[in-house]
Amino acid sequence: MSDVAAVIGVVGAGAMGAGIAQVAAMHGHAVILADAQSASVARARSGHVKAMDREVEKSRLSRAAADAVLARMTYVDGVSEAHLVAFEPCAMVIEAIVEQLVPKQALFRALEAVVTPSTILASNTSSLAIAALAGACTVRERVVGVHFFNPAPVMPLVEIIPCILTAPEVSAQARALARAWGKTTVVAADTPGFIVNRVARPFYGEALRLREEGVADAATIDWAMRTLGGFRMGPFELMDFIGLDINYAVTRSVFEAMYFDPRYRPSLAQQRLVEAGWLGRKTQRGFYDYRDGAVKPEPQIDAVLGQQIVDRVLAMLVNEAVEAVHLQVASVADVETAMMTGVNYPQGLLAWGDTIGAGTVLSRLETLQADTGDDRYRPSVRLRRAVRDGVSLQDPRRLA
């Protein structure tokens, strides 16, 4: 599979699909990229040309090498049965279409009619169940999650998500392929949000709660998380960058898939912005105003307040990482790797928890739960056991 002779198919020519196609082509594979929208195909083609021009300008590729990458790309304008026949020679087809279960299931069923029995069908979904996709297929064991991060040519992390139906050799081949493309891989259980989108929820959710409670405004919370917490971006500027519609949709998807666990409860304030069409940078309004002439709000520079903000958000993040290990979403090592490479956290959350002190994290959560009566702050059983036994949060053993 990692052999460059393998043809790679990508369905969905948006930012993610186009990026994945670029990665594959730059590593020597012939790539077939299709989309139902002609405009998306045209944008992807134009984007690839511009990307290769940049590679040449920065002396990372010769003109001949860049042209060879573009020559390996085949663009298909449509995803009807007649169009999908183009994917027949593919060793793997990665879907990166709309984040909805029914269209993804329909696409996989349509692909099964044209690809070989050994073709791997991979999904770039960020939150949908891989088992639900595989269950809709005839050859179910060939389906696996292969979740890239945006922008795919730049971000190093790929989450590999086998489901209960996935053949072990399929997930192994998918992981080997991602590694051959220079990616860092982690293995996640087929649970809502996988690793990154699950563990990162408190970075946004607790920041939103702090703002809603009037503890601090968005600019102050962002300042605290950047300056005192060491994060590259604060939660509100990051939500504006991602797109509030996308960030909110992932939060709601995880919340609903986790049977409405209050740990993942969405924010009404964020929902109202989405309903108003204020989606962040792409609409010039979000938590911040990006229009010409808009004045950027100044944060309240208060070290004591800032540290309270960081402490509260970090306690929630560490607890979520501990819970992910406790519920076998991923190994200790993969949780740490995922959060540092997938969302650029300054250090692994379990190591960070050890630095803070597991007892301190537990005390902060218990205080918040007692003060608010909100079960969102309930400490992980594994956190309690680590404190009880004096064990590092990075200890890979099961804690009984």
Q: Provide the pLDDT for residue 75.
A: 98
Among 135, 154, 187, residue at a domain's last position: 187
Residue 4 has pLDDT above 90, yes or no: no
- The domain spanning residue 165 has which CATH number? 3.40.50.720
Other C-beta atoms lying within 10 Å of the C-beta of residue 362:
22
Please indicate, yes or no, whether residues 217 and 361 belong to a single structural domain of this protein.
yes
| DSSP code, position 190 | S
Q: What percent of the chain has pLDDT over 90?
A: 98
Please indicate, yes or no, whether residues 180 and 202 belong to a single structural domain of this protein.
no
The mean per-residue pLDDT over the stretch 147-156 comes to: 96
Q: Are 385 and 399 in contact (CB under 8 A)?
A: yes
pLDDT in tens, 346-371: 999 999 999 999 999 999 999 999 99
Pairwise CA distance, residues 118 & 359, whole Å? 51
Q: Provide the pLDDT for residue 3.
A: 72
- Rounded to the nearest 10 degrees, the angle between the axes of helix 349-356 and helix 332-342 is 100
| Prediction pTM value | 0.95
pLDDT in tens, 315-333: 999 999 999 999 999 999 9
Q: Are 142 and 151 in contact (CB under 8 A)?
A: no
Does the annotation count 29 as an active-site position? Answer: no
The residues, ordered by sequence, that sit 6+ positions from 247 with a Cβ below 8 Å of its Cβ are: 204, 239, 270
Residue 63 has pLDDT above 90, yes or no: yes
pLDDT in tens, 110-143: 999 999 999 999 999 998 999 999 999 999 999 9
Apex CA 143: angle with CA 195 and CA 116, to 5°?
A: 150
* Number of domains comprising the chain: 2
pLDDT confidence of 2, banded at 50, 70, 90?
Answer: low
The mean per-residue pLDDT over the stretch 244-269 comes to: 95
Pairwise CA distance, residues 396 & 399, whole Å? 9
What length is written for the chain?
400
Does the annotation count 150 as an active-site position? Answer: no
Residue tagged active-site, from 95, 147, 247, 380: 147
Q: What percent of the chain has pLDDT over 70?
A: 100
Pairwise CA distance, residues 191 & 145, whole Å? 11
pLDDT confidence of 400, banded at 50, 70, 90?
Answer: confident
The mean per-residue pLDDT over the stretch 11-25 comes to: 97
Query: Chain-centre distance of CA 258, in angstroms?
Result: 17
Work out the mean pLDDT of the chain and round it to a whole number. 97
Q: Provide the pLDDT for residue 117.
A: 94
Please indicate, yes or no, whether residues 14 and 81 belong to a single structural domain of this protein.
yes
Please indicate, yes or no, whether residues 154 and 203 belong to a single structural domain of this protein.
no
Residue 1 has pLDDT above 70, yes or no: no
Pairwise CA distance, residues 23 & 8, whole Å? 11
Question: Under the phi-then-psi rule, with left for phi > 0, alpha for psi from -120 to 50, and beta for the rest, what region is 190?
Answer: beta
Q: Distance of CA 38 to CAs 25, 45, 102, 124, 310, Å?
A: 21, 11, 22, 21, 46
| Amino acid identity, position 305 | L
Please indicate, yes or no, whether residues 165 and 207 belong to a single structural domain of this protein.
no
Q: Are 93 and 67 in contact (CB under 8 A)?
A: no
Helix (H, G, I), strand (E, B) or coil at 285: strand
Among 134, 162, 187, residue at a domain's last position: 187
pLDDT confidence of 203, banded at 50, 70, 90?
Answer: very high
Please indicate, yes or no, whether residues 163 and 218 belong to a single structural domain of this protein.
no
Please indicate, yes or no, whether residues 393 and 372 belong to a single structural domain of this protein.
yes
Tokens of 61: 């590729």
**In terms of DSSP H, where are the helices of the chain?**
15-26, 38-57, 63-71, 81-84, 101-112, 130-134, 168-180, 196-199, 201-212, 218-223, 235-242, 244-257, 268-276, 303-326, 332-342, 349-356, 358-372, 381-389
Look at strands 143-148 and 120-123 and give their pairing. parallel
Residue tagged active-site, from 126, 127, 171, 319: 126
Residue tagged active-site, from 55, 112, 159, 336: 159
Please indicate, yes or no, whether residues 242 and 352 belong to a single structural domain of this protein.
yes
Q: Which domain range does residue 75 map to?
A: 7-187
Is residue 293 one of the residues assigned to a domain?
A: yes
- The domain spanning residue 234 has which CATH number? 1.10.1040.50
pLDDT in tens, 281-304: 999 999 999 999 999 999 999 999
Residue tagged active-site, from 127, 197, 253, 319: 197
Among 165, 187, 209, residue at a domain's last position: 187
